[in-house]
Amino acid sequence: MQLSVKNVGCIKEGNISFNGLTVIAGENGTGKSTLSKMIFSIIKAVSNISQVTNDSRRQLLEKYAMTFYRRINVRERFLVIADIDELIPVSYRAFYYKIWNLQSGSRLQDYLSKVKEHILNREDLSPRTKKLAVKDLECIHELMFNENKSSQLWSEIRYFVESEFMNQITTNGADNSHVEFIWDEANGDGVVFDVRNENMKMVKCSVENTLFDATYVETPLYLPIVDPLRRSATYIENMRSRMIQPMVPLHVKDIVNKYDLLSNYPQDKSTTDLLKMIMKIINGKFIYDEKEKTILFKDNKRDEEYMTINVASGVKTFGVLQILLQINAINENKPLLWDEPENHLHPAWQIKFAEMLVLLSKSGIPIVVSTHSPYFIQSIRYYSQKYQLASYVNYYMNEIGDDGLVTVKEVTNDLGKVFARLSAPLTEVLNLSNIE
């Protein structure tokens, strides 16, 4: 699999491959997580659209109609524009039914053209709102006039990418962004799109040989606050709702939804060696308590159960991995993307976690991990050699240029450069002769 990006966030240009284990190294603020988030949002969109049926097509239309109404705030403007209901009904559901009943054809084409013209002529809408509302209408047009999945894919990608990046994709000062994600290089299956002035244009799309899902882990610290996060909303969900909720990126809602699945899986037995390894490291396991309706940590050493808020963050890091394995959220068709796992691990457990990732990759799970720890990178290097996986591990370094933007460079054969860069601050403070 291959991801290429230009002018996305702080990244000027980057190209990474991931089929086994991919390590992205760099200092803070160099866009390491940007690459993983882009992979995550595209895979989620593609896996979603690959299951489109006529019923889900109706659901998509309802979603687009709701977003459009939320964006132009129809209900409030209806009070001052007497004839708006002749063209745009006051209810988004009435708008949805009107479009569905027209289906495709010249009548629907004429209607959507009139609605677009009306939006562009409205003086009470800002230029940005007009532009986004027109994009909503374009999504509706694509959905209704093109029944094949490939033609619907770009609108779904737009929704997922917006939810993950909060509609802030293009590098400041750049004219446009370019993204290519090819998941089947042999057949050329993948997605290519441009973003210009917040408008997304699909260049190429495919739903063949797609991945089933992806999981992006930003931090294990979400585990104790599942309940409030469950009540939060993504960017797009807020656009679709009249009630504004606390907003979180898409990957946060996704991981919370996956934690909830633990209640559906056996709690008493661990059937894989990897799960047993995790439970041995943390001297216990995370379980779903039916009585309390929450996730607890069962400490085997003390034979006690604890609320997750009272469990060390390092234990929670391994616990997240345990849960994802237990609910089958990661496998050969469901990549794992993890952002700086070393943040919550002391050096000994950084080494253990690196070993776990190598073993997971050896079992067939595609993994992308970002890091700024030389301990962690050397551990990956060591265990990939030990378990004969070195030829399937790629290393990249995000470097800031003179223009303040980042270029992603492959350093698989030049890891000394990575160690020198990341260990330089420690080397400086260890050199006591520098003290005046």
- Give 249-300 as a DSSP string: -HHHHHHHHHHHGGGGS-SS---SHHHHHHHHHHTEEEEEETTTTEEEEEET
Separation between Cα atoms, residue 285 and residue 17, nearest integer Å: 34
Architecture in CATH of 2-41+212-434 = 3-Layer(aba) Sandwich (3.40)
In this predicted model, what pLDDT tens digit does every residue of 129-169 receive, in sequence order?
888 888 889 888 877 876 555 556 667 777 788 778 877 78
Residue 269's pLDDT band (cuts 50, 70, 90): low
In this predicted model, what pLDDT tens digit does every residue of 160-209 receive, in sequence order?
887 788 777 888 888 899 999 998 887 788 888 888 876 777 788 776 77
Q: Is residue 270 a contact partner of residue 323, using CB atoms and an 8 Å limit?
A: no
Report the pLDDT value the prediction gives residue 202, as an integer from 0 to 100: 77
Q: In this structure, what token pair is assigned to residue 204?
A: 């190429």
What are the two backbone dihedrals, phi and then psi, of residue 75, each rounded to the nearest 5 degrees? -60, -40
pLDDT (mean) for 233-257: 79
**First-last CA distance in the chain:** 52
For 231, counting Cβ atoms within 10 Å of its Cβ (0-12 exposed, 13-18 middle, 19+ buried), the class is exposed
- 0.85 surpassed by pTM: no
pLDDT (mean) for 9-30: 92
Report the pLDDT value the prediction gives residue 301, as an integer from 0 to 100: 85
Residue 81's pLDDT band (cuts 50, 70, 90): very low
pLDDT (mean) for 216-231: 90
In this predicted model, what pLDDT tens digit does every residue of 412-432 receive, in sequence order?
999 888 888 888 777 777 776
Mean pLDDT of the chain: 85
Instruction: Report the 10 Å Cβ neighbour count for 379.
Output: 22
Report the pLDDT value the prediction gives residue 74, as an integer from 0 to 100: 55
pLDDT (mean) for 281-303: 89
User: Is 228's pLDDT higher than 50?
Assistant: yes
Residue 50's pLDDT band (cuts 50, 70, 90): low
Residue 102's pLDDT band (cuts 50, 70, 90): confident
pLDDT (mean) for 281-309: 90
User: Is 51's pLDDT higher than 70?
Assistant: no
In the chain, % of residues over pLDDT 70:
88
Separation between Cα atoms, residue 230 and residue 95, nearest integer Å: 30
pLDDT (mean) for 45-66: 75
Strand 304-307, strand 294-299: pairing: antiparallel
In this predicted model, what pLDDT tens digit does every residue of 340-381 receive, in sequence order?
999 999 989 999 999 999 999 999 999 999 999 888 999 999
Report the pLDDT value the prediction gives residue 13, as an integer from 0 to 100: 95
Separation between Cα atoms, residue 224 and residue 339, nearest integer Å: 19
Separation between Cα atoms, residue 119 and residue 231, nearest integer Å: 33
Report the pLDDT value the prediction gives residue 421, as an integer from 0 to 100: 85
3-class DSSP assignment, residue 99:
helix
Residue 40's pLDDT band (cuts 50, 70, 90): very high
Question: How far, in Å, are 39, 65, 77, 209, 408 from residue 17 at the CA level?
Answer: 11, 37, 49, 17, 12
Residue 268's pLDDT band (cuts 50, 70, 90): low
In the chain, % of residues over pLDDT 90:
42
The angle at the Cα of 136, spanning 131 to 138, to the nearest 5 degrees, equals 95
Question: For 189-224, b where at least 16 C-beta lie within 10 A, e where not — what string?
Answer: bbbbbbbeeeebebeebbbeebbebbbbbbbbebbb
Residue 54's pLDDT band (cuts 50, 70, 90): low
Amino acid identity, residue 411? V
- Which bin fits 73, alpha (ψ -120 to 50), beta or left (φ > 0)? left
User: Is 116's pLDDT higher than 60?
Assistant: yes
Report the pLDDT value the prediction gives residue 79, as an integer from 0 to 100: 40
Q: In this structure, what token pair is assigned to residue 85?
A: 């209901």
What stretches of 147-234 adopt beta strand conformation (E)? 176-184, 189-196, 199-204, 215-217
Report the pLDDT value the prediction gives residue 336, as an integer from 0 to 100: 96
Report the pLDDT value the prediction gives residue 201, as an integer from 0 to 100: 79
In this predicted model, what pLDDT tens digit does every residue of 117-133 receive, in sequence order?
988 988 888 887 888 88
Amino acid identity, residue 173? G
Instruction: Report the 10 Å Cβ neighbour count for 230.
Output: 12
Q: In this structure, what token pair is assigned to residue 308?
A: 């997750």
Separation between Cα atoms, residue 215 and residue 338, nearest integer Å: 8
**Between 81 and 371, whose confidence is greater?**
371
> Where along the chain do its domains lie?
2-41+212-434, 54-147
Q: In this structure, what token pair is assigned to residue 105?
A: 């054809």
